[in-house]
Each structure stands twice: as C-alpha cells, then as structure tokens.
Amino acid sequence: MPISLADLAADLAAESAVVRAVVAPLAEVDWRAETPSAGWSVADQISHLAHYDEVTVLSATNADAFVQMRARVEASGEIDPDVIARRYRHLSGVELLTWYDRARGELLSTFRELDPAVRLPWFGPSMSAASLLTARLMETWAHAQDIADTVGAEIAPTDRLRHVAHIGVGARAFSYAANGLKAPADPVRVELISPSGELWTWGPAAATDRVTGTALDFCFAVTQRRHLDDLSLTATGAAAEEWLSIAQAFAGEPGTGREPLRTENAVALS
C-alpha cells in the first residue's frame, strides 16, 4: 500500500511537538548553550530546522524559484550549514520558536495535500514528496537528540523511528559515495527491535552480512548522534562492519560523528 502523506505528516507533527516541548521552557542563556554538534548552539539547531522547512515548502510550491535559489546558494557558498546558522544568530529564543512553529506548520499543511510520488527538486537528485517529508522527520529527530543531550532532557523512543531507520538503510550506497568509496555488491540484512518490541527487517533473509540490534541504537548510528562504542549493535561480516563505520542518513559531506561516552566497546563484530 502506498504511504499516506497524511499519516506521515501526523508522525512529523508528533516529532515536531517533541522538539517544541524541549525548547519552549528554556531561558535565553540555554538557547545559546553549545550542543554536541561542534560550534552549534540550541538556537542553531532550531534555526536549521526552520530554514530547511521553508526551503522544502519552496520546492513543493514553486519549483522554478527553488532551482534559482539552489543555483545561487551553491555558487556563493551560502549552502554551507555553518553559514546558514550564522545568518540567524541575532534572533532570540522566542523569535526562533515562533519561526519554527510557523515554518513547520506551513510544511505540514503543504505536504498533506501532495501526491506522495510527485518528484520535487532538491539539492542533488529530485526526491519524491514522501521521501522529502520523511527526511524532515529524520532531521527533526536527530536535532532533537542534540538539544536533549545539551539540556538534560529525556526523549522516549517511539515506533516513529521506523522512518529514520528506513532512510538509514536506504542511504547505504550514499554513505559510500559521500566518503569517496565504492559500495560493495554484498547485500546486508538489517534486523531491528522496535521500541514497541516488533521486529523490523530490511534486505534478503539469506544475506550473510547482517546488522542487528535495537532500532534506537541503529538510528543513533546512521544519524551519527552516538559513537558506535556506545551502541549495542552487532555487525556480522565485512560489508556490514564497513557500512556501520561510515553510515549516514543525512545528505551532504561525511559527518564528524561523536566522541565515545564510555570506554568499553559495546559494538559486537563477528
């Protein structure tokens, strides 16, 4: 059955509410606290989400204007996330939250009415509306983790992580390309336990290369929000081990990842 954008938008709305619940009570000084993303504050994390919500809406509503904007920012270097972050650092926490609410609301209302399969221009190849909205959910979850880690909040995992895991699995070939490597032909079987206890699987059941563990830990890995040493994932086979070491669900340059939080190695390689 084709994915319903209304259902996907509902899941994104729920993730959006999680972010809002974490940042809304913060004092201005907390908005300026540096997150685990080096050089980025809580404020930068929110401005990044709001900025790309607006860009995504532009792609869906005015493709020609999006293409013109893309050419301009790519030529000028303004596509650099750090450059974008600096542009909005004059905004207060209250102003950023107001912007985030408005931009996210426009994103959700725009995409609820789209055909999930319609192709929209993006940075690089075009994407389906469903894929683009799923990517916004993945980004929202990942940046929420950075904010929560900074302010000491706890975010309970939900089965909405399936969207993040699905992107992570699908981005395997991109992870190699981003690192200038050739992806191996060997398939990898992925088996993850969801927060509700369901088994989620991707890839051929007979594949000898496998990644197993919890969906939460896999999502931490592919969004590079935790070091592999801090995750209870099992990689079996050379192709699975190599992929986990470079996995990224997000577009752009290879991420720098995170430093280990503990010394013992919890990632089992066999």
Residue that finishes a domain, picked among 155, 178, 194 = 155
Residue that finishes a domain, picked among 111, 128, 155 = 155
Task: Answer for the pair 134, 167: CB distance below 8 angstroms, yes or no.
Answer: yes
**Residue 216 tokens, joined:** 């939460």
d(CA 216, CA 90): 35
Is residue 268 scored above 50 in pLDDT? no
Tell me: do 143 and 181 sit in the same domain.
Answer: no
- The pLDDT score that the predictor gives to residue 76 is 94
- The pLDDT score that the predictor gives to residue 270 is 30
CB atoms inside a 10 Å sphere around CB 36: 16
Is residue 206 scored above 60 in pLDDT? yes
Q: What's the predicted TM-score (pTM) here?
A: 0.92
Mean pLDDT of 60-76: 96
Give the percent of the chain with pLDDT over 70.
96
Per-position DSSP letters for the chain, written without gaps between them: -PPPHHHHHHHHHHHHHHHHHHHTT--HHHHTSB-SSTT-BHHHHHHHHHHHHHHHHHHHH-HHHHHHHHHHHHHHTTTSHHHHHHHTTTS-HHHHHHHHHHHHHHHHHHHTTS-TT-EEEESEEEEEHHHHHHHHHHHHHHHHHHHHHHHT------TTHHHHHHHHHHTHHHHHHHTT-PPPS--EEEEEE-TTS-EEEES-TT-SEEEEEEHHHHHHHHTT-S-GGGS--EEESHHHHHHHHH---SSSSPP-----SSSS---EE-
Is residue 166 scored above 70 in pLDDT? yes
Provide the residue range defining the domain that includes 50.
5-155
- Kindly report the CATH number assigned to the domain that includes residue 250: 3.30.1050
Condensed to tens digits (0 to 9), the pLDDT of residues 229-266 reads 999 999 999 999 999 999 999 887 787 778 887 544 43
Q: What is the DSSP letter of 265?
A: -
Position 4 confidence tier, pLDDT thresholds 50, 70, 90: confident
- Kindly report the CATH number assigned to the domain that includes residue 26: 1.20.120.450
Pairing of strands 188-193, 199-202: antiparallel
Tell me: do 180 and 231 sit in the same domain.
Answer: yes
Q: How many domains does the chain have?
A: 2
Task: Answer for the pair 39, 82: CB distance below 8 angstroms, yes or no.
Answer: yes
Tell me: do 128 and 192 sit in the same domain.
Answer: no
Tell me: do 134 and 167 sit in the same domain.
Answer: no
Condensed to tens digits (0 to 9), the pLDDT of residues 8-20 reads 999 999 999 999 9
d(CA 50, CA 99): 7
Mean pLDDT of 68-87: 94
- The pLDDT score that the predictor gives to residue 267 is 38
- The pLDDT score that the predictor gives to residue 41 is 98
Q: Distance from first CA to last CA of the chain, Å, rounded?
A: 36
Give the percent of the chain with pLDDT over 90.
88
Tell me: do 119 and 24 sit in the same domain.
Answer: yes
- The pLDDT score that the predictor gives to residue 163 is 96
Residue that finishes a domain, picked among 155, 188, 212 = 155
d(CA 58, CA 81): 18
